[in-house]
Each structure stands twice: as C-alpha cells, then as structure tokens.
Chains A and B, each alone.
Chain A
Amino acid sequence: MGGGPLDLTPPVPGRGVAPGSVGPMTATATGWMSPSPKLLRMRVIELVVAVVVVGAAVGASVSPAGAVAAAGASVGAAVLCSVVAGRFLLNRFRAWRYLERDEDLIVARGVMFRRTSVVPYGRMQFVDVTAGPIERVFGLATVKLHTAAAATDARIPGLEQHEAARLRDRLSSLGEAKAQGL
C-alpha cells in the first residue's frame, strides 16, 4: 500500500474537475466536486433578506428623529456589510468541495478555519439527506455522513437534489459493500 501524498491544494475555483488535484493513490477518482452554484445564490438571497430586515428595523428606530443623514448612513453601512459578507460567502462557497475516491470520501471546507475530513466508506453508519424549506425552494439538499465517531463532520450542503440522491445511493451501496465491524 504505497500511498503517495495526497495533494490538498484547492482546485480551480468554481465547478468541476481539477485533474491536477488528485493524488496518485486514487486510481479511478472522479475529481473534486463542488456544491451547486444555487447554494451561493441561496446564501446571497438569505443575506440580502437579513440585511433588509435589520436595516429596516434600524431605520424605523432612527426615523422619528427625522434625520436623513442617519438614514443615509445606515443604508451605506448596510451596503458595506453586505459587500463584506458577500465576499465572505463567495470564498466560503468556493472552499466547499468533496472528492469520491475508491475507498473513502474526502470533504474539504472552510476559509478561516480550514477542515478536510476523510471518511472510509466502510466506516459509514448511515447517510442523512436533509432539505430545509429554503433549500427546497432552490431544489437543494444537504448530505451528511455519520460514523461511530461523534466527531466526524462530513457534511456537504447545497447539492442539487438529484445529485444528493445519487451520492446517497452510491455512498450507502459502497458502505454496504465495504462495511466493517467496529
């Protein structure tokens, strides 16, 4: 089992396969995959809604004073906040990616706090697919892997629902085929 080093450099931002990022030990690896771009859109809309709600609340509390300047300042602050947060969301979205290998699944995420998890298929106890109300509107779902270790945090958000179903089926069939006792 001469496993070469696993190259963990981030793939080309955005979608798809980055051939250079696959280590030599993965014979039939399909390459890094990313969540659907809809996830970014969803997050941005969530952000905009949040900023509008908070901004309206702040504006309402300020407006009795009638100061136009204050209203302008709060609008400016809101725009600034959303730009910064949007930048953050974009980076965060780009950092989420996963790689299906022969024996295990790798999930990488995080910008400030980078995390990369390897979960062998044989260790999976069960696979969760969840879709909250907002995710359902966008046709997205979250896949989460559970092992006997509580600390395992292999979660992939924002997958297209058909991709989530495919991943779930693949993972559970692989998990069954390679299952190992504790």
Chain B
Amino acid sequence: MTPEEGAPADRVAAPTVDGTVWHKLHPLTPVVRAGPVVLVLVVAVASSARSGRSDDSVWLYELGLIVVTLGLGIVRWLVTRWRLEGTTLRVETGLLRRDSRQLPVARIQAVDVLRPFLARVLGLAELRIRLAGSNSAGGKLAYLSEPVALDLRARLLAGQHGLDMATPEPAELPVAVVPTGRLAGSVVLSSATLVPVLLVAAAAVTQSVSRAAAVAIGGTLAAYLVVLLRVVWRRVSEQYGFTVSHAPDGIRIRRGLLGTVSETIPFRRVQAVRKQQPLLWRPFGWCRLEVEIAGGAAGGGQGTRAGTVTKALLPVGTDDAVRYLVQGVLGPDTPPLSAPPPRARWKAPLSYHFLAAGLDSSLAMAVTGRVRKVTCWIPLDKVQSVRLMQGPVQRLLRVSTVHVDAAGRRVRAEFRDRDAGEAERLFGEIAVRSRSARRNIPPPVAAHSGPDSAPGTTPAVVPVSPAGVAPPPGWYLDPAGRHQLRHWDGARWGEYVADEGRVDRDRLGPDGSGCP
C-alpha cells in the first residue's frame, strides 16, 4: 500500500499542483481524523452488545458521538484550503476564527511526510513543514493524497533551493539501512533500560533472605519488564526499517512500521552534527548520529523549546556508515584532531582519554565524554556565539576551554582544557573564520558559466540560492544538458549523473563546457 516515493510510475500519475487555484485536503480526511475515536466506540459497542445489554439508548448515544465527530471533521475539511502562491505556501483554516498562514518557501527548514496507519491504508499522507522560530511556526497539511503530498514536497524543496519549482524530484542514493535486530539490540542495551534491571537484580541478590522480599522484587522486575517491552516496541516501531538516503535536496529519512514517516533535511539547514558512542554499544562498534536543525515541529516533537529539533540521522549504525554520512552532510574533510596538553589530566582525569578538538576553515569539531563518547561537529557558518572560559583550577594548569555555540539548548562543541595561549588564539580565530564562512562561500556562477560554454550545449543551469551563495552538495540539473541531473560536490560539478533515478558516471570538461 505504500508505493516507493519517487518511483517514476508514481510521478507520472501524480496530479500537478496548480499555483492558481485553491486546493482542498483529501475528502477522506474526516474519516482518518475520526478513525481512532470511531474505532474505540465500535469496540465499546461490540463489547456491550456481547455482554447482552442490547440497550437501544446506548447504541443511539454512541452513534451520535460518531456522527458528531465525523461532522466536525467534515466542517473542518470544508473550511480548510491551501494554495502555492509563487514562493509562499498559504494555508487557510478555521470556521469561526479564520487562520491564514503564509509559509515562505525559502525559509523552510525541513519537510516531513507522515503516514499514520489508517492514512496509509487509505493512501493518504500528512505534510509537515518546519520553519525556524517558535513551536507554532510552520504548518501542516493533513491529509493529502500521497502523490499530491510527494509532489508538493518536491516543489517546496526545489523552491527552497532556489530552483524552479517544477524541477522533478531528483534521484536519491540510499546510504544506510538499520537492520531490525540491531535496532532492537541497541534499544535494549541503552543505559536507560538496562540500569534499572541491574539495580533490581542486585537488590534481589543482596536481599534474598525473606520470601516476601523475593516476591516483591520479582513483582517489580515483572512490572518493569512490561514497561521495558513497551519502550522497546515503541522505539522499534518508530524506527523500523530506518533508511537514510542522499538526495539533491538534502538527506531523506524513511522509517516506521505501522505508520511511516519520511523526513527531508536540507543540507544547509543542519546546525550541528553529533555522534554518540555509549559504553554498552562499543563492543559492537555501534554509534548513533544526530543532527540538530532549527525549527520546531508544527504539532509536537522533542526538544522544541529552544527552537531546534534533534533528529536521529542514524539511530544505530556502524562507524563506516556514520563516517560516510558525516562526510555527506559536512563535506569530505573533517578537521585534524589534537588532544589537550597532558597537564589537563589533573583537571579532567575521567574524560581526558576522550578529549580532542580540531578546527579548519569550515568546521569546528570536538570530542568529549567520560563514559559515553560524544563527537560534535559545528559548521562555522552556523556558529551563534563563541565563549572562552577559565576556572581557578584551569588557571593553575594554564589551560582554558572554548565553547562554540550553535542554535539550540545545549548544542555546542567544547574545546576543553586547551593550552591557555592556544585557546585564546582559537577563540579569536573561530570568531573570524565563522564570520568569513558566513559570507565568503564562493558562488558557483563565476566558475561555471560564461563565454567559454561550448556552442550547442544548453546554457549552464547553475543552482543559485536566494542569498547568492553556493548551494550545498547535491544533485542539480546537468549544466551540460546531456543528463537530467549532475552531482554538485559543493565546489564543482562531479562526474556522477542521474537519468530517471539511475546513477551513472560521465565526466564534465574542466571548463564546465561538457567536453569530456
């Protein structure tokens, strides 16, 4: 019931989103919205019927409830409409208090397609759009038919990149898939689930004197196991079949067992990347990769108070997959790491073995942690503030710490316990480099268009984002015109091309003219 997104057959059938007329949500929307309520009531009616109380008034009452729920849903459906007006998406809703919302396409931080179970059965999907700012910024369209939702997402993301909105949704390269067994194992092995079990077991060992105590401990353990199973089930069903793909418009994530979620994170919207390696995962070589993006989810999400959302880019994966993904998001080079001076061991005896940090022209990278190793990358053009700190112990040891803050609550790279002189230099350097990183990204136009384009080829279509800065690595229309898309590595056109979703190689001439 879930056709693969982006499959060519799917796209042909997709009705195009017309920018001139108002669109309505899918007519089955009230049914999907009322679904859970109806289900509960039907079960209640069925059970009361089985228990023999065939009282007519009960039937009427519950039927009435269903009708009211559906009726409200229908009214809501009737008064909700949306339209794509140039570069803004406009959503109007509300019967008594009219709410009209304009979502500027250029400011979109992420677009998610959600399919709860019932919607999925009926071929519907919810489109969730995140903007930067408060929790309520952004919007959602629930529910659209799946092809419309996918088409609209493609348009919004194309517009977000400054391309023509009619650009077809480009090919995506699957990067990593999380096997279900590993997912379940990683959830069970997390400290949140394991520590209480160990505590109770320890209590059982030490207290195994009286029978009553043993019973009590057994009961606690059983109750805890039930909770544990629920947690495992929830996490596994949320992240079941977790697939990460590279697409021109960003990173795509697809996950979910009953209801599926498909998220797209544009590369330039990534505020920070974090890799976590908990102790218990280390024997298996697993780690978790998270990205921080600005923009609270419309309608919930975790960690939205400070205006950013943490998203798992890979809930559990091997080092290789994580390295590949990090390179995909942040570019091929990561800064060389160096450890703080050995005298810092006196100040940080428990974490010294992990401490390391590095800086290059576009990234700040820091490793911290005592038991859990945490690596954090922050693109310098996303730096919000830089702080240099030194406590009394640090002053004795002639070391200081530099914090590089990115948007969010606790999002920062900590250059801990660096040599005081080095820290001061770093502090000034990061301020300067982040300033130039924000501005001086060379636009690709200068390098790839101009008089030396060979005659006969279509003029180079160079992606230009609204700010006039170079777009992130990704797939764009082939400047030589020989293929549908060509990969842009962030600085120059690469040799990878894509036609109808199939990836191939075809080298472009050194001058961008298309001569191999």
Contact = CB atoms under 8 A, between A and B. Distances in A.
Given A120-B384, A151-B409, 19 more contacts: A3-B429, A4-B428, A6-B424, A8-B424, A104-B431, A113-B389, A113-B392, A116-B427, A117-B385, A117-B388, A119-B385, A122-B438, A147-B407, A149-B405, A149-B411, A151-B405, A152-B384, A152-B387, A182-B382
B109 A116 contact: no
18 contacts: A3-B428, A5-B425, A5-B429, A8-B388, A113-B390, A114-B395, A115-B389, A115-B390, A116-B388, A116-B389, A117-B385, A119-B384, A123-B383, A123-B385, A149-B405, A181-B107, A182-B109, A182-B382
A116 B412 CA distance: 16
Contacts of A25: 428, 432
A118 B424 contact: no
B385 A150 contact: no
Query: Chain A at the B interface: mostly helix, strand, loop or mixed?
Result: loop
Q: Interface extent on B, as a size class?
A: 35 or more
A6 B431 contact: yes
Interface of A: 1, 3-6, 8, 23, 25, 103-104, 112-120, 122-123, 147-154, 180-182
Contact of B408 (A120, A148, A153): A148
Interface in B415-464: 424-425, 427-429, 431-436, 438, 440
Nearest to B388: A116
A149 B428 contact: no
Contact of A116 (B382, B383, B387): B387
B431 to A, nearest CB: 5
A6 B384 contact: no
A2 to B, nearest CB: 8
Contacts of B107: 181
Interface of B: 107, 109, 132, 269, 271, 294, 306-308, 382-392, 395, 400, 403, 405-412, 424-425, 427-429, 431-436, 438, 440, 467
A151 B412 contact: yes
A122 B436 CA distance: 12
Contacts of B294: 148, 182
The 7 closest A-B pairs by CB, nearest first: A3-B432, A6-B428, A148-B407, A149-B384, A149-B405, A1-B436, A182-B294
Contacts of B410: 150-151
A150 B306 contact: yes
B432 A147 contact: no
B386 A117 contact: yes
A176 to B, nearest CB: 16
Contacts of A182: 109, 132, 269, 271, 294, 382, 407
Contact of B409 (A3, A117, A150): A150
A3 B359 CA distance: 15
A5 B428 contact: yes
